[in-house]
Chains A and B, each alone.
Chain A
Amino acid sequence: MRFDQTPMSDRSKVLPAGLDPESDEALVWKAREGDFSAFEKLFERHRDLVYRYAYQMAPRRDDAEDIVQEAFIKAYQNLKRYRDEAKFTTWLLRITANLGTDRARMYNRRKSLEEREAAGSLTWMTVGNYSEDPIDNIEQEERRALLRDAIAALPDHHKNAIVFRDIQEMEYDDIAEFFGCSVGGAKLRVLRARRALRDRLAPMLGGE
C-alpha cells in the first residue's frame, strides 16, 4: 500500500475556485483527493499547536507525542467527515481533546511517585527558563506540578478554557469556535475557569 504522491497539478481534478492553494481548506481538499503531501503540510503546520495542547493533557513528551500521532491519524482517516463550517484547527483540537481526555485518565491512574520524578527530570533537561540555583528550580518544579494537578482536577470545559486562553494564548474567536458558543460566552467560560482554578490554588499563591 503506497500513498499517491502525485502533485495536484498533474491531476485532472481542479481546486475549487476561491480557495487559496496554501490554505488549510485547500490542503484538506487535496488530501481528500488522495494527495498525502498536502496532509503532510497540514501536519507540519499544526503539529506544535496540537502538541502543546496534548502536553497539557498528558505532561510527558512521549504521551503527548502519542496523542498527537493518534489525532492526526484520526483526522486523516476521517477527512471526508470534516465539514468546512469550522476551522481545520478547531476540528483537529476537538479530536485531540477527546483523545487527551482518555489518555489523561490513564496517565493519572498509572502515575506513581517514580514516574513523577522521572517526568520531572525529563522536563528539567528539556525545558528551559530555569535559574542557576537548584533550590529555586526544585521549588519552581513543585509549583508547576501543583498547578498541573490543579488544572487536571478541573472539569473538562474549565480545563480547556484555561489551556486555550492562558497557556496557549489563543484568541477568543477560536475558543468560541471550539466550544461552539459566542465570543461573550467564551469569555465567560474562561472567567469562571480562572476563578475555579484560583480557588484551588489560593494557599499556594499566598492567598487566604
Chain B
Amino acid sequence: MNNEQMDALFRKVFGDVENGDEQLLGSVNGGAINREETILTNLKLELKNLGEVPECQLSSDRLRDAILSKGTMREPVSPFANWWKFAVPVAACAALAVFVLQMPRSQVIDEPDTQGSIATKLEQPSATLENKIEPNDVVVPPVTEQSAKVEIVLPIDQPTIVKKTSPSTVKNSRRPVTKPRPQYASRTTVSDQAGVGAPSPAAMADMVAADLKPKSSPSVAGIAAGALEGFENRDSGSTSRGSAAKPDESSPKVVIVTAGTNPDTRASNATEVDKKNVVFGG
C-alpha cells in the first residue's frame, strides 16, 4: 500500500472521504486493507474515548476571585503615552545644548579675522600646556569670499608641529648629595676686598674717627682719610662688587665632619669652611 492509498484509507476511516478515494482503495489487496482498516478504526475509537473528561468544577466565583487577586484589566501602556511630561525638560535641555554649542562660535565671529583666528584658537589649547607654537605652524587658509561664511578648517591631515621643552631644563629643587655645595659669600669669608656686610662709609668714618680721637696724630689721620677715600672708590677699581661677593675660588676649603647624621640624607653632618679659618692641631 503506497502513501496515497494509505491517506485515502485514513480519510475513509475518519470520515473525510474525498472524490477518488474509492478508486485508490479498490486497487489494493483486500487482506491488507482490512487489517489496516481495523487498526485505524481502533485508533479512532481510542481517541474518541479520550474526549470523555471529568466534569469541570471551576466556577465563575472562583474565576472572579482569581481575577480580583491578580488584578483587573491591564491598560496597555504606550511608551509615548506620557510624552508631555518629558517635553518641557527635553526642550530645556535641547535649548541649553544649542546655547552652549553656539556660544564659542559667536565669540569668534566678533573678531575681524575669522578663519585665521578660529584656526589659531583651535590650536591654542595644545600650545598652552608646555609647548610653544611658532607662527609658521598655524594653518591659515587663504581668505576668500566664502570666508564670510564661518567655516572651521582644522588641519587634520597635517600634524601639529610643536616644540617641546627639554626635560633637562626643569630644575630639580633637590641637590644631590654627591654634588658639591655651591659656594656663596659668607660672614666667615675674609677678603681684602670690600665685601658684603661691610659697614657703610659714613659709619666707617665715624668709627675710625672715634678710634683716632683720643690719640689723634696728623699722620694717622691722614692714613685714615686715605683709607676712607679708597673705600669709597672701591667700585671704580678693577674688582667689582659682584665679583667681591663671589667666594674666593683659589682659597682652599676644608670639610669638617661632625658627629651625628642629617635626617634627610642620612649622611654625616659636614661643614665646609675656608682653610684659613681653621686652626689645625690639638
Contact = CB atoms under 8 A, between A and B. Distances in A.
The range of chain A's interface size is 35 or more
A77 B44 CA distance: 38
Contact of A206 (B38, B48, B55): B38
B26 to A, nearest CB: 20
Contact of A72 (B7, B11, B47, B63): B63
B39 A73 contact: no
Interface residues of B, number: 41
Interface stretch (B68-76, B120-128, B239-247): B68-76
A26 interface: no
B46 interface: yes
A167 B60 contact: no
B57 A65 contact: yes
Contacts, number: 118
B56 A40 contact: no
A73 B67 contact: yes
Given A68-B56, A126-B54, A167-B47, A3 B64 contact: yes
A205 interface: yes
A198 B43 contact: yes
B276 to A, nearest CB: 107
A80 B66 CA distance: 19
Contacts of B149: none
Contacts of B39: 198, 202, 205-207
**Majority-rule SS of B interface residues:** helix
Contact of B16 (A44, A68, A80, A187): A187
A127 interface: yes
B97 to A, nearest CB: 39
Interface string B35-59: 1101110111011111111111110
Interface stretch (A46-54, A85-93, A110-118): A46-54
Contacts of A65: 56-58
Contacts of B68: 1, 3
Contacts of B10: 191, 194-195, 198
Contact of A128 (B52, B64, B73, B74): B52
Nearest to A56: B50
17 contacts: A1-B68, A56-B50, A61-B54, A68-B56, A72-B67, A73-B70, A80-B73, A80-B76, A122-B54, A143-B46, A167-B48, A194-B43, A198-B40, A205-B42, A205-B43, A205-B46, A207-B39
Interface of B: 6-7, 10-11, 14, 16, 35-36, 38-40, 42-44, 46-58, 60, 62-64, 66-68, 70-76
Interface of A: 1, 3, 36, 40, 43-44, 47-48, 51-52, 55-56, 61, 64-65, 68-69, 72-73, 76-81, 122-123, 126-129, 140, 143-144, 147-148, 151, 162, 166-169, 187, 190-191, 194-195, 197-198, 201-202, 205-207
